[in-house]
Amino acid sequence: MTSNSDDYLSEIKWNKDGLVAAIAQDHKSGQVLMQAWMNRQALQLTIAEQQAVYWSRSRQTLWRKGETSGHRQKLHELRLDCDGDAVLLSVEQLGGIACHTGRKSCFYKRFSAGNWAEVDPILKDPQQIYK
């Protein structure tokens, strides 16, 4: 999965902030775990380290998924969509929790009868994850 040059970066349609949407999906079940953002360096590090590295828009810095919680994402496969404006990471979610709320997936709210309802359980109290 490594490249000798950065030519692959030119195929990506980076947004005005130099970012691309990154979707993490469980490599076995196909469940979408989360959506985050990557800049060029985050994508390069993800490929080099074979674990998910994202760009935090709020902190304006790189962050390795799980660096605080221990719930890292081991990269199995990386894909680029047809428009070149999103990447899909097929990952092994170590610890089984991707969301900072303590859930398996960040997509735990379902729209029903005009409202968003929380339908997936908290697997671990975030207070215990982020001491």
Structure confidence by residue, pLDDT tens digits, 106-125: 999 999 999 999 999 999 99
The pTM (predicted TM-score) of the whole model is 0.90
7-96: CATH number = 3.10.20.810
Please report, for residues 3, 21, 24, 75, 118, the alpha-carbon distance to residue 43 in angstroms, rounded to integers and kept in the order given.
12, 11, 13, 11, 31
| Other C-beta atoms lying within 10 Å of the C-beta of residue 36 | 23
Structure confidence by residue, pLDDT tens digits, 51-109: 999 999 999 999 999 998 999 999 999 999 999 999 999 999 999 999 999 999 999 99
